[in-house]
Amino acid sequence: MTENGRPRTLFEKVWHAHTVREQSDDTPAVLYIDLHLVHEVTSPQAFSMLRERGLAVRRPDQTIGTMDHSTPTTPRNDLGVIPIADAMAALQLDTFSRNCRDFGIPMYALGDEHQGIVHVIGPEKGLTQPGMTIVCGDSHTSTHGAFGALAFGIGTSEVGHVLATQTLLQNKPRTMAINVDGRLGDGVTAKDIILAIIARIGIGGGTGKVFEYRGEAIRSLSMEGRMTVCNMSIEGGARAGMVAPDDTTFEYMRGRRHAPSGAEWDAALAHWRSLPSDPGATFDQEITLRADELIPMITYGTNPGMGMPIDGAVPAPADEPDVNKKIALDKALDYMDLSPGQQLLGKAIDVVFIGSCTNSRITDLRQAARFMDGRKVADSVRMMVVPGSQQVKMQAESEGLHEIFRAAGAEWREAGCSMCIAMNGDQLRPGQYAVSTSNRNFEGRQGKGGRTFLASPLTAAASAVAGAVADPRVMLAN
Amino acid sequence: MEKLRHISGSIVGLPVNDIDTDQIIPARFLKVTDKAGLGKAAFCDWRYLEDGETPNPDFILNQPDYAGASVLVAGNNFGCGSSREHAPWALLGAGFKAVISTDFADIFRNNALKNGLLPIVVDRDTQQQLFSLAEEAPGTEVSVDVEAQALTLPDGRRVNFPLDGFSKYCLLHGVDQLGYLLALDGDVRAFEASNPQRVKTTV
Ligand code: SF4
């Protein structure tokens, strides 16, 4: 698997295999894109550009659309239709339907049994495969790296480039190995791993880099867990994060709608097995964390790097030597209305959101449901559970998870991005506190004036029951 | 895209680290299907009071001293977060031609360059000097020579900044990058002929 005897990383193999033109002093590399995912929010201006220039979509057969960001998640009406109350959202969704139809792109519309968050449906349909290049006009495209694909978010101009040419101009990123050794303790999850990584390296720590997550703790994760980790690579500043494909990956892939079958499966498998980084391959940077030292994590501030172990205390701006960081922390604590030294455990909350492309897959919902079974959401808390796709929703319902959530007093919604981005009416009110399984705690992200604590589905469920930030390990032990 | 060779304009400072794209333009403004009119949404939740309409007099961009500023000086790691190209569209719509910081998030930088909004990376000291100048002497002007990759401060000091050759060429000549990719059709065909299609979405 080495080239000229030089051991190569997973990233280098995938990059090399997709280079249409090498990078030079004057031009970035030109990369071929195997799969392009499109959604309603970041595509309309790209389709307009195609129309203005009289261009076609070069490979509609390598492009797929879904509606997710601005779709309502309210229950269906008597006709089985999910009503869209917001006129602008309706126009955007309508425009998207027309664009996909006019340009021949297959698309899952609101209400379709395959519709869902773009980063949930790609893997679920077997579209996401090891060794591929995958892009989408969405920064959490890094999610698909869990399969050993090189997957990253692009802007709308670049969406246009890929639609028209199936290629992208890219400067080669540097590599960073993130080793997570040892095993996770009970009540500690993939989400806690990635929140700990970001707290350690900071939200700009991965700028210009591609992460490769390695080590025993990563190998032991389910595909869903690996997706949770890769999903938040962008919160560490990296455009892409990758995990080498292994038997866990292949088991997940087998039999999925777009996965290869028969002789093609065997050929694909041989290719996939050649992808992991060669022994002795070197990275530009390497860090190591110990999984057995991790406990559930939570954020206290207004970016995902402002995170700490759940039993920790909010840091004091006065202790921050860097003046810019001090200002940022001051501003964050002011927005969050928290004081230095304050513990978050026991802090009363108003909303719990379980969902988003980080934590809305079936294993996330199973974890949360198992926890909620026989427990009740505190009276002061509104808990929303939003499955990542219609398929996840159906699976969960076939297992009776929705009954558990409802019996506990939680809302069970239709699939979509929902309160992760608060474009569709699902949002916090000013001043409210939420424990959320999503990926961003920026000011106003979940609704203007809303305050977000990012955490795992287990921590979110425990907090819903307690009515306050809670450590799930305590309740799990009882 | 229009040619971008020189920029000169007054500076305004936002000395906040990690300004994310949700601050540059909140998600509720992303329901548009074109690029026009996003300028008024730039920094919306900082710029307006609770009602979303009354300008917040405390916010720097609303102060008359800084009206017409076209060069934004920002804290470290500007533009982190989502891939929304609405962020540079909104900044351009609000009259900015360049943003100066110590570093930019990758996707934001790409998006900005594709729209003729120049991301200028400077060292910490220059950034701090610009913050002070902006605060103490509103209306301070800087000039930028794209070809020379140089930012000239009011005291005449020239600071060079990095800019990849390809983006620079595109800015100077007002060409967009799609034209370059379209011209490589032959290479793409050759690539497709020698590599298997990995997945088919239309089955
Ligand atoms: S769930 Fe949130 S982060 Fe994920 S794609 Fe939707 S809006 Fe983006």
Q: Report the SS3 class of residue A146.
A: helix
The pLDDT, as a whole number, for residue B170 is 94
Could you report the per-residue pLDDT of A179-235, keeping only the tens digit for each? 999 999 999 999 999 999 999 999 999 999 999 999 999 999 999 999 999 999 999
* A1 has a pLDDT exceeding 50: no
ipTM of the complex: 0.94
The pLDDT, as a whole number, for residue A323 is 84
Q: Report the SS3 class of residue A234.
A: helix
- The CATH code for residues B6-174 is 3.20.19.10
Q: From CA B89, how far away is CA B85, in angstroms rounded?
A: 6
Integer CA distances (angstroms), A245 to A89, A149, B150, in order:
38, 9, 46
Residue-averaged pLDDT of chain B = 95
Could you report the per-residue pLDDT of B161-180, keeping only the tens digit for each? 999 999 999 999 998 899 99
Task: Inform me whether the C-beta atom of residue A85 falls under 8 Å from chain B C-beta atoms.
Answer: no
- Distance from chain centroid for Cα A405: 23
Evaluate whether A281 touches A8 at the Cβ level (below 8 Å): yes
What strand order describes the sheet that includes A451-454?
Answer: A411-412, A382-385, A351-354, A433-436, A451-454
The pLDDT, as a whole number, for residue A122 is 97
Which residues, given as ranges, of chain B have pLDDT below 70?
none
Residue of A67, A69, A361 with the most ligand 1 atoms within 8 Å of its CB, for mutation: A69
Task: Inform me whether the C-beta atom of residue A30 falls under 8 Å from chain B C-beta atoms.
Answer: yes
**What is the Å distance from ligand 1's center to B54 Cα?**
30
**What is the Å distance from ligand 1's center to A69 Cα?**
7
Residue-averaged pLDDT of chain A = 96
Q: Residues enclosing ligand 1, CB less than 6 A?
A: A 68-69, 117, 119, 138, 140, 356-357, 417, 420-421, 438-439
What are the extents of the domains in chain B?
A: 6-174
CA atoms within 13 A on the CB side of A126: 18
Q: pLDDT band for position A84 (50/70/90)?
A: confident
The pLDDT, as a whole number, for residue A82 is 84
Q: From CA B128, how far away is CA B20, in angstroms rounded?
A: 20
| Mean pLDDT of all residues in A81-104 | 92
Q: Which of B45, B83, B178 sits opposite A164 (nearest CB)?
A: B178
Nearest chain B residue (CA) to A32? B188
Could you report the per-residue pLDDT of A143-153, keeping only the tens digit for each? 999 999 999 99
